[in-house]
Amino acid sequence: MDVEKVFHMKGGVGDTSYFNNSSVQKSVAEKMKDITLDAIEQMYVTLRPRNLGIADLGCSSGSNALLYIKRMVGTVEKAAQSVQQAAPEFRVCLNDLPTNDFNTVFQALPDLYQELKKGRNNDAPSVYVAAYPGNFYGRLFPENSLHFVYSFSSLHWLSRVPPGIYDEQGMLLNRKSIYITKNSPTEVCEAYAKQFRQDFSLFLKCRSEEVVTGGRMVLVLTGRSSPDFYCKDNIFAWELLYQSFNILVSKGKVEEEKVDSYDVHYYGPSREEIEDEVRTEGSFKLDRVEMLKKETDCTSSGAAIAKTVRAVQESMLSHHFGEAMLDELFDEYGTLLDREMAKEAVTFIDIALVLTRL
Amino acid sequence: MSQRALQKRIISATISAMDEAVADSLRKTLPAQTMGIGIADLGCSSGPNTLMVISEIINKIYETCSQMGIPLPELRVSLNDLPGNDFNGIFMLLPEFYRNLEKENGVGPEGCFISGVAGSFYGRLFPKMSLHFVHSSSSLHWLSQVPPALCTKAGKHLNKGKIYISKTSPPSVLKAYLSQFQTDFFAFLRSRAAEMVAGGGMLLSFMGRSSPDAAAEVGSHQWELLSQALMSMVLERRGSTLSMPPTTPHAEEVANIVEEEGSFIINHLQGFEIDWDGGPTNNDDDNNNNNVVNGFENLSRGRRVAKTVRAVVESMVESHFGRDIMDELFRRYGELVDQYFSKTRAKHINLVLSVTRINSCY
């Protein structure tokens, strides 16, 4: 299955769309707000570009993309004032795979421009937004055209399901699961880790050609808190999804082989793996690494989390299983989540990185 | 699909003018440029025509650079249309487009970057001095709004009974349309002037008219017939409040505005005729293309025009009169056009304007 051709967030603005179900991602970004705005301010004060290139990698189709733009423009304008410089022209580049629903983002643009003009006379900021469809595991932007890059909740998506999880006969080594579990053989874990290293390294290399010296990157991805592959905070959500599949299999709603042949193109790295790769690739230095812990509590809703995962996974699932079973699958998933959260708090880890181009 | 066929013919007819404009702007700007070349297609729409245009532009740039003996610079291509345009459709075609680019021209993934820009070209879309070549086809005859002067304060509609300019429209209607075109086209030029480098070229193609008399032109008769079709459905009261945005300026009006705005010199300004439906199709080429799949070619010419016009104005007419009448309306319209064709050869005039950005003190 060609990930690039199939993978996308659920488009439009319906009930199950990413647009209306990306609030988990939003709470990640809220935490990231200070880190991000600090980083762009520091970059601006150092480089003071007249024409400022900003890129959002994995912008998806939600309202988050435009909200971030507004915040960043505001921060840079203030910074420009503080150094007595005219605000720059903003070139905002929104990237996602060609299968992303960009139309929904574009339809919300006129409102953004209106908001940027509100209360201003002739000094509204000059903001030019463009969509750059493409795979960020490759070149996307002209050389030396960017000063600030951010990517929230996208870099844990691999370019493909690691080929190393199949043996030479094409048999799946990772049976009875859709991702790494405590029973996964080492070769499987290492195949996932290797794919991540290759992808992340390529990502850094491509960005190094596009980001100017002194430019900054702020990257957030889900990860795990220990070097141990079987770390619960990372594999837990996938294990529950697999259990939801099993419930549907036992009801005869889904074939067992279909579930056995499904694997996610995902990896949650450890802090050490990230640091190693940045050092090895060599074009950026790591200014900052933050482990952001998110714990569920008694107010957390399994159904809400299930909806979030659905908006993200739906395209891959419906490609493999068809659409008919999705509602029931995520009902079961929500119920399982509620049950687990009632036993003990579930932890999700996000790793936030700030890098500077050397 | 039928609207695209017409636009495709227009684009094909302007290709040599476009090639010349591209080569010309390159020769004027290339020695000075260091940051790659910026190209924009304004009103790019969606579908196969969109990529056909930029493919042609890229090929021409490649060819010109070879002739000049210089390496191909980095290409930044921007596709612009209003936020309601189907950009997703274009973007899905991009991965294959990039692959073909590499195969045919050896342009690798670091050589060409295509982006989509949503917004009205009657305002700024791009950063200052970022464009070397601008193209726009079949878009500038759409005004930014229906001329506000067409409704007096009392709400009495000046162009009562008509949906466009016709022989019996009062002079104030003609004036309102012209005035709106002047404002819009001036704003278009002013925005592009800020965005283009000195020596950059622009090729614009849009519906116009050959006669200075706004009401005499046969091209606008197309709208007159649509008006008649509406009337015939006993919708007189509602019919009188709909005014269509498209306008057909005269070449002289266009030249005056360019001169007044002052940032561009005109290389050439020509008109060429094109049939309302893109022309009769007798040859095998047309029979082999996609239109045959839709049965488009087998329709009467009147019905082809009706389909073309419907694709363009449907949303406007529907929001005014509702969906129920649409099929019947365009059936009657097709008949009226067939009758008209049996008496006259009905054509648009398509204006092609090539300009160069002069040095400025911006």
Domain boundaries, chain B: 3-357
Q: Cβ neighbours of residue A41 under 8 Å, at least 6 residues apart?
A: A75, A76, A78, A79
- Give the pLDDT score at A214: 97
CA angle A144, A353, A20 (to 5 degrees): 95
Q: Taking the CB of residue A86, how many other CB atoms lie within 10 A of it?
A: 10
- Give the pLDDT score at A230: 84
Q: Is the ipTM of this complex over 0.95?
A: no
Adjacent-strand bridge partners of A93:
A55, A130
- Give the pLDDT score at A294: 78
Q: Are A196 and A265 in contact (CB under 8 A)?
A: no
Contact B91 A98 (CB under 8 A): yes
Strands (E), A145-201: 146-152
Contact B88 A102 (CB under 8 A): yes
Q: Output the CA–CA distances (angstroms, integers) from residue A253 to A245, A323, A326, B10, B56, in the order listed.
A: 9, 12, 11, 54, 52
Name the DSSP class of A141. Answer: S
Nearest to B243 by CA among B173, B138, B171: B173
Query: Measured between CB atoms, does B123 come within 8 Å of chain A?
Result: no
Q: Output the CA–CA distances (angstroms, integers) from residue B164 to A91, B176, B179, B320, in the order listed.
A: 40, 11, 15, 15
Question: What CA–CA distance (Å, rounded) separates A195 from A162?
Answer: 6
Taking 90 as the threshold, does the pLDDT of residue A286 lie above it?
A: yes
* Poorest-pLDDT segment among A116-130, A249-263, B226-240, B329-343: B226-240
Q: Cβ neighbours of residue A103 under 8 Å, at least 6 residues apart?
A: A11, B86, B87, B88
Name the amino acid, one letter, at B237: R
Q: Cβ neighbours of residue A167 under 8 Å, at least 6 residues apart?
A: A173
Instruction: Domain B3-357: give its CATH code.
Output: 3.40.50.150
Nearest to A106 by CA among B269, B90, B13: B90
Contact A106 B83 (CB under 8 A): yes
Binned average pLDDT, 10 residues per bin, chain B of 362 residues: 68 80 83 77 86 91 87 93 92 93 85 95 95 88 67 48 56 73 93 95 85 59 71 55 63 92 93 67 40 50 76 71 82 82 71 89 50
- Give the pLDDT score at B250: 84
CA dihedral of B104, B20, B138, A126, whole degrees rounded to 10: 80
> Mean pLDDT, to the nearest integer, of A306-331?
86
Query: Measured between CB atoms, does B63 come within 8 Å of chain A?
Result: no
Contact B95 A138 (CB under 8 A): no
Taking 90 as the threshold, does the pLDDT of residue A236 lie above it?
A: no
Q: Which pair of structure tokens corresponds to residue A315?
A: 């395209």
Measured in residues, chain A has a length of 358
Contact A133 B117 (CB under 8 A): no
Q: Cβ neighbours of residue A283 under 8 Å, at least 6 residues apart?
A: A204, A205, A207, A208, A357, A358
- Give the pLDDT score at B284: 38
Give the model confidence (pLDDT) of A49-67 as tens digits: 999 999 999 998 878 889 9
Question: What CA–CA distance (Å, rounded) separates A337 from A238?
Answer: 11
Contact B94 A141 (CB under 8 A): no
Mark out the alpha helices in B219-324 (DSSP H runs): 221-232, 236-239, 251-261, 284-288, 291-294, 301-321
Name the amino acid, one letter, at B319: S
Q: Are B197 and B360 in contact (CB under 8 A)?
A: no
Q: Taking the CB of residue A292, how many other CB atoms lie within 10 A of it?
A: 17
Adjacent-strand bridge partners of B281:
none
Pick B74's closest partner by Cβ from A129, A130, A142.
A142
Domain A3-357 has CATH 3.40.50.150: yes
pTM confidence score: 0.84
Minimum Cα–Cα distance from B109: chain A residue: A139
Pick B115's closest partner by Cβ from A4, A89, A131.
A131
CA distance to partner chain A, nearest, from residue B92 (Å): 5
What is the distance between the terminal CA atoms of chain A, rounded to a whole angstrom? 37
Taking 60 as the threshold, does the pLDDT of residue A205 lie above it?
A: yes
Strands (E), chain A: 51-57, 89-96, 127-133, 146-152, 211-222, 284-295, 347-357
- Give the pLDDT score at A38: 94
Adjacent-strand bridge partners of B196:
B131
Question: What CA–CA distance (Å, rounded) separates B279 from B301?
Answer: 9
Chain A residues within 8 A of B78 when measuring between CB atoms? 130
Question: What CA–CA distance (Å, rounded) separates B26 from B201?
Answer: 8
